[in-house]
Structure 1
Amino acid sequence: MARRAAGETVRAARRPEVRLPALERHGGGGLEPDGDYDGLDMREADFAGQDGAGARFMDCALTGCALDETSLRRARLLDSVLTGVRGVGTDLAEATLRDVELVDARLGGTQMHGAVLERVLIRGGKIDFLNLRRARLKDVVFEGCVLVEPDFAGARLERVEFAGCALRGADFSASVLVDVDLRGAAPLEIARGVDRLAGAVISPAQLLGLAPVLAAELGVRVVA
C-alpha cells in the first residue's frame, strides 16, 4: 500500500507473515555444514564457534541461542523466528533471509555482506557494527531497535523502513536507495554516503539535523 509524504509516493515495506507449524524440540546436537533443519524449536542452544555454513533453516524458532563466532555463511533462513539471540562475530555473509523475524537480538560485528534479505522484520534489541556491504534488502523493516554504525556501503535497499529506531553513524557509501523511509529514525546519524540519499524520504526536522553534513558534502561553508 502506497503512502504519501512531502509530495512523494513511498511504497511501504511488506512485512513477513510467519506462521510456524507445531515444532519439534531440537535434540541438542550441534550445527553442521549444509545441515537441514526443518520445523525445529531451538531453545537456549549454545552454537558458539560452530560451523553451519550453507545450512537451511525452514519453519524454525531459535530462542535465546548463543551465536558467538558462529559460521552461517551462505545459510538460508526461511519462514523462521529468531528471538533473543546473542553473539559477537556471527558470520552470515552471503546468507539468504526470507520471511524472517529477528526480535530483541543483541549482536555485535555481525557479518552480512553480500546477503539477501527479503520480507524481514528486525524488531527491538541492539546490533553494533552490522556489515551489510553489497547486500540486497527488499521489504525490510527495522523497528524499535538500535543500530550502531551499520554499514550499507554498496548495498541496494528497496522498500526499507526505519520505524522508531536509532540509526547512529550509518554508512550509505555507493548504496542505492529505492523507497527507503528514514522518517522514523531518531536519531538519524549518517557518517558517510549522504549523497546517496536519493530515493529516501526524511522529515523536515531530519533535514535540519543533516544540514551540516549536506553542506560539508557540497563544499559549502556556513559562516555566521
Structure 2
Amino acid sequence: MAEKFKIERPKIPTELSAESFQYREDAYYNRIIIEGETIHAEEVHQIKFDEVIFKNVVFEQVSFQNIELTDCIFDHCDLSNSDFSEGSIHRVEFRDSKMLGINFSDATIANVLFTGCQGNLSSFGFAKLKHVMFEACLLNNGDLFECKFQKVGFRDCELDEVNFSNTSLNGVDLSSCTFHNLQASLESLRGCIVNTEQAIGFAQFLGLRIKE
C-alpha cells in the first residue's frame, strides 16, 4: 500500500501588495503579488521570494540559481527553461503552469505541490524531494535521476521515458500514471507500486514470457 502523507500549504497573508518585478540589490521580495507580466533575461543568484504569488507571469530566459522560495504560489505561469538549480523550495504550489525544460537539479524541494503542470523535459537530477506531490502533470522525458525521495507521490501523471536511474521508488505509487517505458534499474524499481498492465510491461522488459 502507498504511504499517505500530508503536504504543508503555502502560508500567505490575505492582503498582498501588487508590484511589478524590478531587480533589487538585496534580491529579497516579500508579501507581494506579481501578475500578468514577463520577467525577461534576468540572471540573479540567491534571489529570495517569501510569501509571493506569481499569476500569469512569463519567465523568459531566467536564471535564478540558488533561488529561495518560501510560501509561494505560481498560478498559470510559464517557467519553461528557467534555471532554479540548487534552489531551496519550501511550501510552494505550482498550479496549471508550463514548465518545459525547467531546471531543478541539485535543489531541495519540500512540501511542494505540482498540479496540472506541463513539465516535459524537466530536470530534477540529484535533487532532494520530501513531501512532494505531482498531480495530473506531464513529465515525459523528464530527469529524476540520482534523487532522494521521502514521501513523494505521482497521481494521474504522464511519465513516459522519465529517467529514474539510481532513484529509489520504494513505496512510490505509479499505478494511476501512464507510460510506455521508464528508464530505471531493477534496484530503483524495487518496492514500486504499479497496476497489472504496468507490471506486465515491466515483465516483458525483463524478457519474461507471459503465458495466458
Does TM, normalized by the shorter one, top 0.5? yes
After TM superposition, list the pairs within 5 Å mapping 1:104-143 onto structure 2: 104-143=96-135
Structure 2 CA distance for partners of 1:59 and 1:29, relative to 1, 3 Å:
closer
Cα distance change on mapping 1:32 and 1:53 into 2, 3 Å = farther
* Matches of 1:121 and 1:194, distance apart in 2: 28
Look up the equivalent residue of 2:76 and give its one-letter code. G
| Residue correspondences, number | 210
Q: How does 1:1-224 map to 2 (within 5 A)?
A: 5=1, 10-21=2-13, 22-26=15-19, 28-32=20-24, 35-187=27-179, 189-213=181-205, 215=206, 220=207, 222=209
For 2:5 and 2:113, locate their aligned partners in 1 and report how far apart those are by CA, in whole Å.
10
Superposed displacement of residue 11, structure 1: 2.2
SS in 2 for 1:38: strand
Identity of aligned residues (%): 20
C-alpha displacement of 1:15:
1.7
SS of aligned partner of 1:70: coil
TM-score under structure 1 length normalisation? 0.85
The 2-side partners of 1:222 and 1:178 are apart by 25
Structure 2: runs of 5+ lacking an equivalent:
none
TM-score, length-scaled by structure 2: 0.90
Q: Aligned letter for 2:185?
A: G
CA distance in 2, matches of 1:23, 1:185: 37
**Cα deviation code 1:46-96 (max 9, x no counterpart):** 112112321111111001111122111111111111111113320010011
The one-letter amino acid paired with 2:132 is V
- Regions of 4+ moved over 4 Å: 221-224
**Greater CA drift, 63-72 or 187-196:** 187-196
- Does structure 2 conserve the Cα–Cα contact (< 8 Å) formed by 1:31 and 1:51? no
* Deviation string, structure 1 residues 133-170 (Cα, Å, up to 9, x no partner): 10011111000111121111111112111111111211
- CA RMSD, Structure 1 to Structure 2 (Å): 2.1
1:110 Cα offset (Å): 1.0
Higher strand share: 1
Change (3 A) 1:69 1:212: farther
2:101 alignment partner AA: G
Q: Unmatched 5+ residue regions in structure 1?
A: none
How far apart, CA to CA, are the structure 2 residues paired with 1:13 and 1:33? 39
- Do the aligned residues in 2 keep the contact of 1:157 with 1:178 (CA within 8 Å)? no
Shift of 1:113: 0.8
